[in-house]
Amino acid sequence: MKGLCISDVSMRFELANNSHVQALLDINLEIQSGEIVSVLGPSGCGKTTLLNILAGFLAPTAGSVELNGVAVTGPASERGMVFQQGALFEWMNVHQNVAFGPNMKGMDKSERNDIVDHLLETVGLQDFKEKAVYELSGGMQQRVALARCLANDPEVILMDEPLGALDALTREKMQGLVLRLWKETGKTIILITHSVEEALLLGERLLVMAPRPGRVHKEYRLPFAEMGVGADLREIKKIDGYSQTREEILSMIWDMEEEIMGRKENVS
Amino acid sequence: MIIALIYVATFILAFIIVRVVSRFVKSRADFTSLKTVTFGDESAVIPDRAATIISIVGIFLIWGAFTGSKLTLFHVPGPFIGDTSFSYTAENAAGEKDDATVFVRVHRVGEIVDAPATKGDDTGFAKDDSVTIQAGRSGLIRSSRNDEGSKDEGYRIVAINGSPIDSETKVEIADGTVLMTPKGSLNFEPTEGWQMEKIWLPPPEDVWSRLVEIASKGYRNFTLIEHLGWSLLRVLAGFAIGCIVGIPLGYAMGLSNWFRGWFDPIVEFMRPVPPLALIPLIIIWFGIDETGKIVLLFLAALWIMTIAARAGVSGVNISKIHAAYSLGASRWQIMRHVIVPNSLPEIFTGARVAMGVCWGTVVAAELVAAEKGAGQMIVAAAKFQLTDIVVMGIILIGIVGYGIDILMRSLERILVPWKGRA
């Protein structure tokens, strides 16, 4: 089948004192090609573990992940990653960072430069291509990270809180950019976030995960991502359905947090 | 002790003077000057340029003042030089007393002078004497030698300039001290002053003229450039081999369990062993020629570079490695494009430390045994008490060491501009 197929994925970490942590339990998901999915949940619900399994950095203790019918066994360029920060190569300038993937594949220079120039224009950094990455602001660095990922033309883009370290205004701009890139490139995007608003705005599908064991608690199908393409995201936040869903998810996560705290108190 | 006190006094005085002066000079209104909390804010502590200049000039002034340098106007009191005299009173066997005068001429070290003339007042049994004494030394005055009846029982000297004196007592006079020896002779010690003799510390201009002399004529069959050059060459050879072996070893330890397990005990054991402690073993194994020195410097650099390279690999942000894999890089490509460049800042820090340690080690190794080199130059000079060469050598060794560090830092700025900015 076309798309990402996650079947019965479980992840169990054995600890030193003979106990274990069930980070994920029986996750079943089918993500169609071209979907944008946001994953939300309290800390410790296993969302980063899930993303690492999808990227191929971790092998699940049970179950399997398939992309277009081929099992995922390790990292590969068909599944690009965008990290929160610190993943750019400081010893390369903006152009070299974006060209990294095509360069590793041995693509010839003129073709590579065309791709890089086009992508830098898409993310609005055409004037910064000779700059060192440490000279850029946090928002610009994330634009470079997005462009670097896209330069490899991956099937799926996995984003691990890509906008988490940005200030509120930059973050809003970047959310618009992510939506625009999604629509323009038609990539499958799986985005992990801590922010309920971001999850609502950027998720065609929104998965709320719950901890102990890590599992998908509830799934939403939302119209906001589609509406948000090219529109003012602040206008979308005024829609009734948006604020209702937001309140619902917030109280859901609030209850989960309370439950974790409560359990901890019982233990101690 | 006196020098330390003067140094502290200079420090305090300069501080007060600069404070008072700067109150009248309009200060710049930069950002730091507007900070109200400066105590404890490290970024608000900027080296006071006036203090730096006074500090350096002060060291030379104190050096000059205590060595009688021609370059400084102010000097601490020097040793007494010139003619002086004192009288003594002798008592003969018959109980009679007579006065005589001792004429003393104190001259500079190395000068040859005639003994001062006596006044010719030779009435009585005690006769005048005349002696020459080198500055900073004392002179025995056999005043009784020409006195009549001095061999007789009961002859003795009873007073100096009228002050009574006895065996092993002192009398202070105008330009020195007179001490009576147990045998009854007089010993005159001219005032020494506070200045240091050239043999302890030569004045700055002597060191400078020695530098000019050795730079043109050389010392012990080798020119100054050769002495310093050989030391540097040994450092570079040892450091280079240390890097060639140490950096790949460090990478291997950072990337492979087997290498980490195998070399960890060796590296952790060898790291705290000071290279100087290896000198005896190196001499036993390799003798005192170049091989031994280069092996020693290799060992000095090796562990530092290994640990730096290992730290450089361990310090890579795992996101970078993950990102590179997701972008389709192979292991080899990750090594070349991510791990190596990412470890460069750590390796440069290690290289700076290693060069410093190597420079210190080479000088020490040359002190022990060498034909040429900066350390050999000063240890050979020390044997002949050529203190000016020793001081010059120490200053040159310091300058070269500082130069190496500055060079390494500027290389670092050029080659790893991203250091500390990731």
Q: Tell me the per-residue pLDDT of A78-125, one tens digit each, with 9 for 90 and over.
A: 899 999 887 899 999 899 999 998 988 888 888 888 989 988 988 888
Give the CATH superfamily of B205-415: MetI-like (1.10.3720.10)
Q: Letter for the amino acid at A257?
A: E
Are residues B320 and A55, on separate chains, in Cβ contact within 8 Å? no
The answer to the question of residue A17 being in a domain is: yes
DSSP designation for B160: E
Residue B17: both structure tokens together? 């003077």
pLDDT of the residue at A268: 44
B407's CB contacts (< 8 A; 6+ apart) are none
Residue among B323, B330, B418 whose CB faces A91 most closely: B418
Whether omega before B345 lies within 30 degrees of 0, making that bond cis, reads no
The answer to the question of residue A252 being in a domain is: yes
Cβ pair B354, A125 in contact under 8 A? no
pLDDT of the residue at B181: 86
Q: Residue A120 class from Cβ within 10 Å (0-12 exposed, 13-18 middle, 19+ buried)?
A: buried
Residue B390: HSE in the Cβ half-sphere, 13 Å Cα cutoff: 15
Query: Which parts of chain B register pLDDT below 50?
Result: none
Q: In the structure, what pLDDT confidence band is assigned to residue A186 with cuts at 50, 70 and 90?
A: confident
Angstroms from B246 CA to nearest CA on chain A: 23
Are residues B327 and A101, on separate chains, in Cβ contact within 8 Å? yes
Angstroms from B267 CA to nearest CA on chain A: 29
User: What part of A 125-184 touches B (C-beta under 8 Å)?
Assistant: 132, 134, 148-149, 152, 154, 158
Domain of residue A258, CATH code: 3.40.50
B189's CB contacts (< 8 A; 6+ apart) are B138, B176, B177, B178, B179
pLDDT of the residue at B116: 82
Residue B140: both structure tokens together? 């025995």
Q: Is the pLDDT reported for residue A218 higher than 60? A: yes
Compute the distance between CA of residue B362 and CA of residue A212 in angstroms, rounded to an integer: 62
**Of B226, B238, B203, whose CA–CA distance to B392 is shortest?**
B203
Cβ pair A125, A143 in contact under 8 A? yes
Tell me, what's the ipTM? Answer: 0.90
pLDDT of the residue at B117: 79
Cβ pair B338, B329 in contact under 8 A? yes
Residue A199 touches chain B, beta carbons under 8 Å:
no
Domain count, chain A: 1
Residue A213: both structure tokens together? 């064991």
- Compute the count of residue pairs across chains A and B with CB atoms less than 8 Å apart: 75
Angstroms from B38 CA to nearest CA on chain A: 29
Chain B residues whose C-beta sits inside 8 Å of any chain A C-beta: 317, 319-320, 322-330, 333, 337-338, 341-342, 344, 416-418, 421-422
Instruction: Report CA dihedral (A246, A251, A252, A253) to the nearest 10 degrees.
Output: 90
pLDDT of the residue at B392: 93
Residue A218: HSE in the Cβ half-sphere, 13 Å Cα cutoff: 11
pLDDT of the residue at B400: 93
pLDDT of the residue at B350: 94
pLDDT of the residue at B98: 85
Are residues B341 and A91, on separate chains, in Cβ contact within 8 Å? yes
B21's CB contacts (< 8 A; 6+ apart) are none
Residue B124: both structure tokens together? 């009585």
Residue among A56, A104, A132 whose CB faces B327 most closely: A104
The per-residue pLDDT for range B89-112, each reduced to its tens digit, is: 888 888 888 888 888 888 887 788
Compute the distance between CA of residue A158 and CA of residue A17 in angstroms, rounded to an integer: 33
The per-residue pLDDT for range A113-160, each reduced to its tens digit, is: 898 998 898 888 888 888 888 888 888 898 999 899 999 889 899 999
Domain with A218, as residue range(s), is 4-64+193-267
Residue A261 touches chain B, beta carbons under 8 Å:
no
Residue A90 touches chain B, beta carbons under 8 Å:
yes
pLDDT of the residue at B323: 92
Q: Which segments of chain B belong to CATH 1.10.3720.10?
A: 205-415
Give me the phi and psi of B20, to 5 degrees please: -65, -45
Angstroms from B305 CA to nearest CA on chain A: 21
**Of A76, A65, A214, whose CA–CA distance to A153 is shortest?**
A76
Angstroms from A199 CA to nearest CA on chain B: 23
The answer to the question of residue A11 being in a domain is: yes
